[in-house]
Amino acid sequence: MALAGYWTIAGLYTDAGWHIRHDVDTFFTWAHALLYSGLLLLLYLVGARYAAARRRNESLAVELGPAYSWSALGVLVFLLGGIADMINHVFFGFEAGFDALLSPTHQVIGAGVLLIISGPIRSAVSNTPRPITLVQQLPAIISSAAILELMHWGTQVFFRVDAARALGVVVPHELDANALTLMTIHFYQQGGSLIAVVLQSLLMMGAAFYLVRNLRLQPGALTILFVLGNGLIAITHSLGWLDAVSVFLASVAAGLAGDIILARAPAYFTSRGWFGFFAFAVPAIYAAVLCVFTVAFMGGTWWDPLFAAGTIFYAGLFSLLLSFVASAIPPRLDAA
């Protein structure tokens, strides 16, 4: 289920990249094949368990258990959303831009997909004892990465920070007819960049906090989570390979830092100091590596030093604030 879920999200991003880079005039593309084959595999896995339950005259809830019963409900929600979306397209045409992202029928489809692909996380959390090796934890980690990518999809307009100099706005030192317009664009582009940094910090660390509070994560878990959870959107939305590489390197650096902190702080569940340090340091390192890479390999940055330093600090600060919410929820005893 974890692999099929990530396969489906990979198909979603492949299809998005296909639409961005090609003129699409047919449904039959290999990008659609990747997307819908993943969905069909998810439906098959849930359907196979349903068939097994029928053969033994058991209810689907008993066969699937509480973890995957929600995935079965997700299948129903997904199908209903798909039917509603088809009717919407027939009568009102196809959405574009933000409308496609925020369409109510697309939101229903997304909710169904979320219920389906989150099954491995619910399974890992409900098991007694909890999975303790990295191999045992992989389904929950991969599923969390797929959900992180799905959240990136819903907020994709704020994924790119666009710190490279070539993407900046040059504000003239002397006022002329275009000065006010350029200053306004510069102001809002800075605002968008700051929102992107803060939002990515919250999404990444929100996924990490949930796993950290419920599983005794093994070394490598956070690195896998961040690389898989950021990689698809990085490739899809990159303007070039250097752009994508910057996200991969930042994800590896943040993941390794998180893995090292957790490995050296076995009492992180009960130590507010260690948990706070983990919460601040990991996203700050992610933002810092992105910034340094941009300056070193992408022609410099249009950000001034104060703005660059401030965004790195904000990445850690808002994650730290989020950690107070996470630490307010006591961990399960078998995970402590």
CA distances from 264 to 184, 219, 257 (A): 47, 10, 11
pTM: 0.89
- How does pLDDT run across 146-163, given as a tens digit for each residue? 999 999 988 988 898 999
Q: Which of 162-176, 251-265, 306-320 has the highest mean pLDDT?
A: 306-320
Q: How large is the average pLDDT for residues 21-44?
A: 77
For the four alpha carbons of 202, 248, 11 and 212, in that order, the dihedral sign comes to negative
Q: What is the mean pLDDT of residues 265-280?
A: 76
> Is residue 23 scored above 80 in pLDDT?
no
Q: How confident is the model at residue 336 (pLDDT cuts 50, 70, 90)?
A: very low
- Per-residue pLDDT of 278-333, as tens digits, reads 999 999 999 999 999 999 999 999 999 999 999 999 999 999 999 998 876 655 54
**In terms of DSSP H, where are the helices of the chain?**
2-21, 30-55, 60-92, 98-102, 104-117, 119-126, 134-154, 179-214, 221-237, 241-264, 272-297, 305-327
Domain range list for the chain: 1-117, 157-336
Extract the tokens encoding 324.
């107070």
